[in-house]
Amino acid sequence: MVYQQVTKKPIIEASMPIKDVFHHFIGQCHKLGHIKMYNNYTIVAWWFVSMIRLLSQKDKRNLSFLIHPSAQEAFSFYQSLNHQFSFNQINSEHSQAFFCNGQTLHATRHKNTVFYLFSGFEHRIFNISQTDHSYSNILIYPSDYDAIDIEMQAWRGVLTTVFSSIRSDSLGILYHQINDQLPKRYISLLFGKNSLSEQKLAEISTTTRSTIAKQRERIQQSKKQKNEQTPQPTIFDLLTRRECDGQGRD
């Protein structure tokens, strides 16, 4: 395997935007296992860096994103969260330019101007429906990029955001969301067990276990009340339904 030593000179000759995101390349290489240390020098697999390219400024002005199938669970999980701040209140053209300038989106090409996005959607200001992403750095990976690496990178970005922007009064909900939606292999990797405990979440969020327990209790009570308010079918309803089912079979 061929490696390229990283010095003050860029590993690849490129325009200024590439240089701006090069350190991000290094971080991603390290996380995905494509980076090594040798005599205090950072060594990067050349094949890995060269297979990723930065989308040109012209191509960023008219494109659309779909969530990559391998990142769909992470995306759905992120969309269900209660965040500390609502960016909808400052979602103007100027604020988008401010927050999106320099953010990095990771994607593979699906077809023509349609791309599969698998990381970067966890930026709070990101809007998947917009078509002009000229403020962002968009890294395009090969279409056959490993699905497991895509899934892991999607969850990494989401969870990094989760543990920095979740409302303290939503920890009880987050407890259930993580245990119900986060793949078990990542729960085990992050928390050392097959499930996230109230105590561990309390330690992560610098709160008390009793706070989370009380929030969970309120959630259960709310669900119970909703179930009690749901009208139960009467005997007449059941008989009518059965009669209609019988007629349908005839």
pLDDT at res. 28: 52
- Over the range 15-28, which residues count as b (16 or more CB within 10 Å of their CB) and which as e? eeebeebbeebbeb
pLDDT band at 90; cut points 50, 70, 90: low
At 85 the three-state DSSP class reads coil
How confident is the model over 12-26, as pLDDT tens digits?
Answer: 333 434 444 445 545
> At residue 53, does pLDDT exceed 70?
yes
State both tokens at 176: 């259930």
Res 136: pLDDT: 87
Indicate the pLDDT class of residue 198, thresholds 50, 70 and 90.
very high
pLDDT tens per residue, range 119-171: 999 987 788 887 778 888 999 999 889 999 999 999 999 999 888 877 888 89
Q: In what order do the strands lie in the sheet with 3-5?
A: 3-5, 41-45, 35-38
The position carrying tokens 């019988």 is 246
Residue type, 124: R
pLDDT digit string, tens, across residues 25-41:
455 555 545 444 444 44
Q: How many alpha carbons fall within 13 Å on the CB side of residue 71? A: 30
Q: Answer whether residue 83 shows pLDDT above 80.
A: no
Cβ atoms 65, 134 nearer than 8 A: no
User: Domain locations in the chain?
Assistant: 1-51, 53-166, 168-250
Q: Cα separations (Å) of 216 from 64, 82, 193, 223, 227?
A: 39, 15, 20, 11, 17
